[in-house]
Amino acid sequence: MSKTPIISRQTLTGAVTEALRTRILNGELPDGSQLRQEALSLEFGVSRVPVREALRQLEAEGLIQIFDHKGAIVTQFSLSDIKELLDIRVMVECDLISRATQAKQPGAFDEAEKLLQQFEEALKKQDIGLWGRLNAQFHMALYRPAGRPHSMALVESLLNKTERYTRMQILYADFSEQALQEHRNLLAFCKQGDAAKATSYLKEHILDAEKALESFFEQRQHS
């Protein structure tokens, strides 16, 4: 008789972390939602230990905040917060894409091209959950040839923090076709090895997203 494989605490923690991260980024757990360890333990059928570790990981990613008396709360960013995060993205990501494009590695952007095709399919299907993941993966694939792991880790954190707002922008601001075309153009500049154009275009791409989000927030405040 074969033994049932033992699921490690790390595996449980990873599964809980991924499930909660997905809910936050999808908007199922909106800004300000309270996450209770006891309720999550019962829901996932695990002890409080992997739940607690998952919440710590999400706090490190900036997706939740943990308070002594309130417990865990889904982070609520103001427009000013989001603009600051996007401004940091401009600085770090423009440096990365310049380095990645100048590296001129054979097939360096093949992964990004495949992800862009998947992104297009997700837009056609209106798969909101997949949009954000593919958007983040596409950007990361563009920067990977730069060979800067610490900068990449920072970008991943920034993308996690802003991803749900990017989805709101694409969904509610009718930004899907523009986002797709901008991604196509960005990839083309990278494949051409034109670091200057890729860098300039990426800056404009992120700042356009910032303007669209600012407009969205203003409309929501007046609705």
| pLDDT for 192 | 95
Q: Is 191 exposed, middle or buried (0-12, 13-18, 19+ CB in 10 A)?
A: middle
Q: Catalogue all structural domains in the chain, each as residue range(s) with its CATH number.
A: 9-74 (1.10.10.10), 79-222 (1.20.120.530)
Amino acid type, 166 = T
| pLDDT for 177 | 78
Q: Is 105 exposed, middle or buried (0-12, 13-18, 19+ CB in 10 A)?
A: exposed
In 3D, which of 182, 173, 164 has the Cα closest to residue 213?
173
Question: Phi first, then psi: what are they for 34, rounded to 5°?
Answer: -95, 135
Q: How much is the average pLDDT of 125-134?
A: 77
Which tens digit of pLDDT belongs to each residue from 132-170?
Answer: 788 899 999 999 999 999 999 999 999 988 877 777 666
Residue 173 pLDDT > 50: yes
Return the structure tokens found at 67: 């308070």
Residue 46 pLDDT > 80: yes
